[in-house]
Amino acid sequence: MEDLLGVNIHPSASMDGWRDRFLDAISKGFVPPIFLYQGPRSASLWERLHVQYASASQDRTAEALYRRLFEWLETVLGSGSVELVSLGCGLAEKEGQWFEVSGKRRIEVQLLDGSFELVAEAKRRRVHPGFHGEVGATVADLTSPSLWRDLARYRAGCPVIYTLFGMLPTLAPEFLIPRIGPLLREGDWLLLDANLIPDSPEYDGTVPPRIVSQYDNPETREWLLASLAELGIYSNAGSLAFHAQGSLHRSEVPRIVASFAFNQTVTVGLFGKSIGFSKERSLRVFRSNRYSVPLLTMMLEQQGIRVVHVLTSETGEDGLLVCRSSPTASLPGGG
């Protein structure tokens, strides 16, 4: 069924491709992020912790940041229709703030996410009486190169505003960042958010323990352990620990990682394969990348993406970057 409850399924979400990418990730020692949001239980556990702990709900200045961004966008967009393509939309709440200030502007919305539950719910919530436009929803896997090729071929009859909210923390920067530039044509916009770490000479470039502890809470543990249980790995088979990795001064971006260390050998059946996790092995279950604004700007500009506007919250922990196209950007692998 191609169009279930008004939700399209992109070929990147087909079982064959998904199985191969999933098994590849597990063999490399990590649970693919998309898996943490799929299925009613995982999606609702994520929503609960998102409401409770997402920086916007912790920090009023971070919440106001999105409103400021969309108010600014309205001053530079000019009149006329636009298209919004939300990549990894989740519940599309941040984009929802735009619709509160967009007046009578017609906005065609394309919501895209790897979680059927989240994208279907985002579509349901975004269609409300004050909204002028149409909302489309698609389940797709942003780790599939074929999806990025299809996105880069996409032509809209009006400027496109791409949003990638919550995705720089989630997906591997070396995969994601080179794929963004080729989407942008003249007149298009890209809105990104990032979890920041301080950028000052006295700062040592690692993630402070205070920030790591924001992730180590009962709700996040329950969410991650529920996903492991879906795989047949139960909490008594080991322990989940949060720690910081990498540094601004080394080649890997700093990140917060949650890993499950096995205390016994566990064998699970996945997609018809038997996969063993030996005692003392660990599986990375979660990762959240952090950037400084100068580091992220450099990484984007290396891929031909121009950063034209930056907003940061008062705490300095949340940043929003507005980007435009550069004529030189092309897809990795010539796609």
Binding site for ligand SAM (CB under 6 A): 33-34, 37, 88-90, 93-94, 113-115, 118, 141-143, 165-167, 170
Q: How far is the CB of 191 from ligand SAM (least distance, A)?
A: 11
DSSP string, 260-321: EEESS-EEEEETTEEEEE-TT-EEEEEEEE-B-HHHHHHHHHHTT-EEEEEEE-TTS-EEEE
* C-beta of 192 vs 266, nearer to ligand SAM: 192
Say if CB 62 and CB 56 are below 8 A apart: yes
Provide the token pair at 174: 């070396």
Q: How far is the CB of 74 from ligand SAM (least distance, A)?
A: 20
Provide the token pair at 82: 């636009």
Q: How far is the CB of 265 from ligand SAM (least distance, A)?
A: 29
User: What DSSP element (H or E) covers 86?
Assistant: strand 82-87
Strand bridging mode 189-195 / 7-9? unpaired
* C-beta of 230 vs 301, nearer to ligand SAM: 230
Provide the token pair at 243: 């720690």
* C-beta of 234 vs 271, nearer to ligand SAM: 271
* C-beta of 121 vs 266, nearer to ligand SAM: 121
Q: How far is the CB of 279 from ligand SAM (least distance, A)?
A: 30
Strand bridging mode 189-195 / 160-164? parallel
* C-beta of 141 vs 188, nearer to ligand SAM: 141
Q: How far is the CB of 193 from ligand SAM (least distance, A)?
A: 7
In whole angstroms, what is the distance from residue 148 CA to residue 140 CA?
10
